[in-house]
Amino acid sequence: LRGFLKDLLELVKKDYDAQDLIEFEETILRGVGYDKDGKISRKELTMILLALAKLPPEDDQ
């Protein structure tokens, strides 16, 4: 999960550190990990990707 989230974070934020990655992972699991098993289902992954697609790149923020 962390490697995947790292790749996503690189798409929306060019300058990030390890703490940003940890916070991103915690936010994702808290926000979409409905079953609280630490895993993301296909439906949850779809929700994450759709939400990220709506974010402007860091340069536009």
Q: What's the pLDDT tens digit per position in 27-36?
A: 877 777 656 6
Q: Residue 32: which residues within 8 A CB-CB, separation 6 or more?
A: 40, 44, 47, 48
User: Considering its fold, how many domains does the chain have in total?
Assistant: 1
- Domain of residue 23 covers 2-55
Residue 61 covered by a domain: no
Give the C-alpha separation, 7 to 40, whole Å: 16
Give the C-alpha separation, 35 to 52, whole Å: 21
Residue 60 covered by a domain: no
Q: What's the pLDDT tens digit per position in 7-52?
A: 878 877 778 889 988 988 888 777 776 566 667 788 888 887 787 7
Reported pTM: 0.57
